């Protein structure tokens, strides 16, 4: 995975003009530095040269090679997931046999050949949903909430109506499903045509990201924008941190109203399809119930999500927009997608155990988020687990020189490890995947991905906080030395 946060930092620093262009060396810099280079001997000069070369190579790999690879690979990845479930009985081993005695391109070509072009029903379903989602962003009531101050000193403002939107949309889905059933109309058609959905979303996301690139180039929404000078990286990483179009916040739409909400709707669609085929299946119920509970928690806490690293650091480019528009619906709902064709009867005891353990992890995850919000909301004047919280008042500077302060909590769940809330999130994903049992590894694709993502994110977050808070972050790390798993990691 390319470390886009580090890439942007390298681009901001510019790596020095001598590292950017060999023919653009600042003569005064070279002259003033010659004596220092020679005083260390030829070996010292070689170390400096090698360091510059390695940084140029690292910059090229990070900002060009890896984005090109991901732009080419990721659309195929979601096709592989669909192909594995529909044509390989959910077995990655059977899927890999497609590549035996042929090239990777030939195997992928065969997979794509089995996909159908989007039909009018799929296209109109997606268009109507997007129009509905955008309308509800404006029409549903909600208080205005603010995100964190950006490096340029801007404060994003959001309308906090995500939970209402989630409840209204889920209720509307089930009302329409029940009312249209007598007429032979079922949302399960989107399961049958999911290849068309993937095709349409892939095509739309590529065009949408191009639009965001041009918009950021010509009419940025705020000063938190800019070009790296590398069109590939700009398209992949994004031009703007908080783009808005006609008053609509792009990240709220892609991340929340589309990515997370479509995930929930697909889980419901898979449940309908399973019921149409087999009646009530407890494995589908467990997986669907836990996922819907988790997504409910997400929308209840949506305003808090707008203050996370995903929103604060990641620009609106292919990296985050394709991920929310295509990857989330394809991978995150893959467990129930798999269970439609693999009905498993767990029995009441196993069903109860999975539901209890899953719900427990949802509670822990939510409780950790609430602790941090309460402490910051009360400015540290509250109790955590019956005690006054240990906090560090970390000061930091914006790019414009303004000084700000943030509270770093080192008590409660946040005293166990710096990212303890990742543990219940991973465990919850395991418990909504476990109803598929262990015939295939495919239903655990999301758990494996989440483990890699959150581990990587823990490093990204530490790097970001270290640069932002400096010595205050070092003090916090001494109080809370473990990243995720207490006493282990």
pLDDT, tens digit, 9 for 90 and up, residues 70-123: 999 999 999 999 999 999 999 999 999 989 888 999 999 999 999 999 999 999
Residue 438: Cβ-neighbour burial (10 angstroms; 0-12, 13-18, 19+) = exposed
Residue 225 phi, psi (nearest 5): -160, 175
CA distances, 346 to each of 285, 340, 349, 430 (Å): 10, 15, 8, 16
Q: Is 144 helix (H, G, I), strand (E, B) or coil?
A: strand
Residue 42 has pLDDT above 60, yes or no: no
Q: What is the mean pLDDT of the chain?
A: 87
CA distances, 11 to each of 44, 242, 262, 479 (Å): 26, 19, 34, 33
**Dihedral sign for Cα atoms in the order 408, 411, 415, 420:** negative
Per-residue pLDDT tens digits for 208-239 = 999 999 999 999 999 999 999 899 999 999 99
| Rounded distance between C-alpha atoms, residue 228 and residue 5, angstroms | 13
pLDDT band at 277 (very low <50, low <70, confident <90, very high): very high
pLDDT band at 407 (very low <50, low <70, confident <90, very high): confident
pLDDT at 50: 56
pTM of the predicted model, to two decimals?
Answer: 0.85
Query: Which residues, in sequence order, are CB contacts of 338 under 8 Å at separation 6+?
Result: 85, 90, 436, 440, 442, 443
Residue 24 has pLDDT above 50, yes or no: no
Q: What is the mean pLDDT of residues 28-35?
A: 37
Per-residue pLDDT tens digits for 68-77 = 999 999 999 9
Per-residue pLDDT tens digits for 445-466 = 999 999 998 998 888 888 888 8
Q: What angle, 0 to 180 degrees and rounded to 10, lies between the N-to-C axes of helices 162-180 and 261-278?
A: 30
Residue 292's nearest CA partner among 274, 256, 268, 269 is 268
- The more confident residue out of 377 and 455 is 455
Out of 7-21, 184-198, 292-306, 322-336, pick the least confident.
7-21
Strand (E) or helix (H) holding 397: strand 391-397
Residue 417 has pLDDT above 70, yes or no: yes
Range among 324-338, 395-409, 413-427, 472-486 rated most confident: 324-338
Q: Which two tokens stand for residue 197?
A: 């959905």
Out of 38-42, 151-155, 222-226, pick the least confident.
38-42
- The more confident residue out of 443 and 312 is 443
């Amino acid at each position: 995975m390319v470390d886009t946060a580090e890439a942007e930092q390298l681009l901001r620093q510019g790596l020095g003009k001598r590292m950017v262009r060999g023919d653009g060396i600042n003569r005064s810099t070279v002259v003033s530095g010659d004596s220092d280079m020679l005083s260390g001997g030829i070996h010292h000069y070689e170390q400096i040269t090698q360091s510059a070369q390695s940084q140029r190579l690292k910059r090229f790999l990070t900002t060009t090679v890896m984005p090109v690879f991901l732009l080419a690979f990721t659309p195929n990845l979601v096709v592989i997931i669909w192909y594995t479930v529909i044509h390989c009985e959910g077995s990655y081993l059977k899927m890999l046999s497609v590549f035996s005695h042929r090239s990777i391109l030939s195997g992928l070509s065969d997979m794509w050949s089995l996909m159908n072009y989007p039909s009018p029903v799929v296209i109109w379903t997606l268009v109507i949903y997007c129009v509905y989602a955008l309308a509800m962003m404006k029409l549903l009531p909600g208080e205005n909430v603010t995100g964190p101050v950006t490096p340029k000193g801007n404060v994003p403002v959001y309308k906090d109506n995500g939970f209402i939107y989630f409840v209204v949309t889920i209720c509307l889905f089930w009302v329409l499903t029940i009312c249209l059933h007598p007429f032979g109309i079922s949302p399960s058609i989107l399961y049958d045509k999911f290849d068309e959905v993937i095709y349409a979303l892939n095509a739309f996301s590529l065009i949408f990201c191009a639009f965001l690139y041009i918009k950021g180039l010509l009419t940025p929404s705020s000063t938190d924008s800019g070009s790296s000078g590398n069109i590939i990286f700009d398209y992949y990483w994004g031009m703007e941190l908080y783009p808005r179009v006609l008053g609509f916040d792009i990240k709220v739409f892609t991340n929340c109203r589309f990515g997370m909400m479509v995930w929930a709707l697909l889980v419901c669609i898979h449940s309908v399809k399973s019921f149409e085929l087999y009646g009530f299946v407890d494995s589908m119920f467990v997986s669907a119930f836990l996922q819907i509970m988790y997504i409910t928690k997400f929308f209840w806490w949506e305003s808090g999500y707008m203050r996370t690293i995903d929103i604060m650091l990641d620009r609106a480019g292919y990296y985050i927009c394709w991920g929310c528009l295509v990857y989330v619906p394809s991978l995150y709902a893959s467990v129930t997608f798999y269970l439609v064709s693999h009905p498993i009867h767990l029995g009441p005891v196993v069903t109860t155990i999975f539901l209890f353990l899953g719900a427990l992890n949802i509670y822990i995850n939510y409780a950790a988020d609430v602790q941090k919000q309460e402490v910051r909301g009360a400015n540290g004047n509250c109790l955590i687990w019956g005690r006054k919280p240990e906090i560090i008042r970390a000061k930091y500077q914006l790019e414009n020189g303004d000084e700000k302060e943030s509270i770093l909590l080192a008590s409660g769940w946040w005293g166990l490890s710096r990212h303890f809330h990742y543990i219940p999130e991973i465990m919850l994903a395991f418990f909504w995947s476990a109803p598929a049992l262990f015939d295939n590894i495919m239903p655990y694709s999301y758990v494996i991905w989440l483990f890699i993502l959150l581990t990587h994110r823990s490093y990204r977050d530490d790097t970001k906080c270290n640069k932002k808070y400096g010595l205050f972050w070092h003090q916090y790390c001494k109080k809370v030395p473990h990243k995720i798993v207490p006493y282990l990691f």
